[in-house]
Amino acid sequence: MSQKIRTLLYALWIVQPVLETAIAIVMLRRGQHRTFKYFFAYLVVQVLAFAALFPTYRYNYSAYFYVSSIATAISVALGFMVIYEAFLDVFRPFHTLRDLGTVLFKWAGLAMLLVAGVASVSTRSSDAAPWMQAILTAQRCVRIIQVGMVLFLLIFARYLGVSRRQHSFGIALGFGGVAMVELVVVAILSAYRVSEVALSVVNVGAYNGVILVWLGYMLAKSPARDLSASLLRPQRWEQSLSDIQHPLPADSLIPMFEGMVDRALSRTQVAPSTAPGNVAASRAAAARAGVTSSGGLGFPHFPTGADSKK
């Protein structure tokens, strides 16, 4: 590695904690750390990781390897939780959809851990230890989830009333962007003989650009949610899921009210007093209207004896 490239990497690396500290200060002053607590924790961990990684990289590379692995594992876990946090913020007005998403995220996290465990056991690589292979596999799984979250927001933002200037959209956009760059870098390294130094510069530079995007989103004011008619579709999704989770009970008052309405309609259709000679004509008229002698569905049965007494 030439001295110019090394200096460039050092410069890009040192800029990261400075920008992340600025974002954390903005979030503290505006109270945004309460809404996005996992994102705030992610920024703090990144700053602390730099404070531990930079001196070990310069003076003790073997220690740097283990510290970097621990920091990567923590960042992977927090990155997954940040995407989950952005998901909850997007679906905040839709409680049933948010509950469904919570279940899906839990299963996604479990599946991610299983895939990482299987990869660490089945991979026989002399270059990486099994635990390191598990961390890298989990990291790639989280990156794929982050890219999927960005694609989801780009497609369904209009239906959910989410503005592209909203903080949760900016956070997910940043993670999705850096995840896409990182996955492309991994694919290039595995398929072609490209200089790792050049790709490292691209990766670090992309992450610095993402930090600038986060800083811009946190400095900007988040617009209010759009409550226009475009939200009718997710409201129907919400109502459908709510009906599935909470079906109508058997002793509901709705059937009782329907019966009352049917009986009221039947009294208006049948004459109040019917002469004995006109009973047959009344039954014939009822038959033509679709009502049988047993009263029909929701219609009361009037016996002939009662009519004759009147």
CA distance 159 to 164: 12
Dihedral sign, CA of 233, 238, 244, 246?
negative
- Calculate mean pLDDT across residues 283-296: 43
Query: Which range has the worst mean pLDDT, 65-79, 197-211, 275-289?
Result: 275-289
- Calculate mean pLDDT across residues 115-142: 73
* Lookup result for tokens 């200060």: 25
Whether the per-residue pLDDT at 279 is higher than 70: the answer is: no
At 48-60, the pLDDT tens digits run: 999 999 889 888 8
Task: Identify the CA nearest to 141 among candidates 125, 155, 120.
Answer: 120
Q: Label residue 126 by pLDDT band (50, 70, 90).
A: low
Domain-by-domain residue ranges, the chain? Answer: 3-244, 253-309
At 1-34, the pLDDT tens digits run: 678 888 888 899 999 999 999 999 999 999 999 9
Cβ partners under 8 Å of residue 177, min gap 6? 150, 206, 209, 210, 213
pLDDT of residue 123: 63
State which of 2-11, 100-109, 212-221, 282-291 shows the largest mean pLDDT.
Answer: 212-221
- Calculate mean pLDDT across residues 211-235: 73
- Calculate mean pLDDT across residues 73-92: 86
At 255-277, the pLDDT tens digits run: 555 565 566 555 554 444 444 44
Q: Label residue 293 by pLDDT band (50, 70, 90).
A: very low
B/e letters for 88-111, b = 16+ CB within 10 Å, e = fewer, are: ebbbeebebbbebbeeebeebbee
pLDDT of residue 219: 92
pLDDT of residue 255: 55
- Calculate mean pLDDT across residues 275-281: 46
- Calculate mean pLDDT across residues 226-242: 54
pLDDT of residue 184: 87
Residue 305, φ and ψ in degrees, nearest 5:
-65, -40
pLDDT of residue 275: 45
pLDDT of residue 297: 41
Q: What percent of the chain has pLDDT over 90?
A: 20
Residue range 3-244 in CATH 1.20.1070: yes
At 131-140, the pLDDT tens digits run: 777 888 888 8
Whether the per-residue pLDDT at 189 is higher than 70: the answer is: yes
CA distance 3 to 96: 56
Mean pLDDT of the chain: 75
Task: Identify the CA nearest to 302 among candidates 287, 283, 281.
Answer: 283
298: left (phi over 0), alpha (psi -120 to 50) or beta: left
What is the value of pTM for the model shown?
0.68
CA distance 20 to 208: 10
pLDDT of residue 163: 79
Percent of the chain that is helix, strand, coil (3-state, to 5):
80, 0, 20
- CA 13 and chain centroid, separation: 31
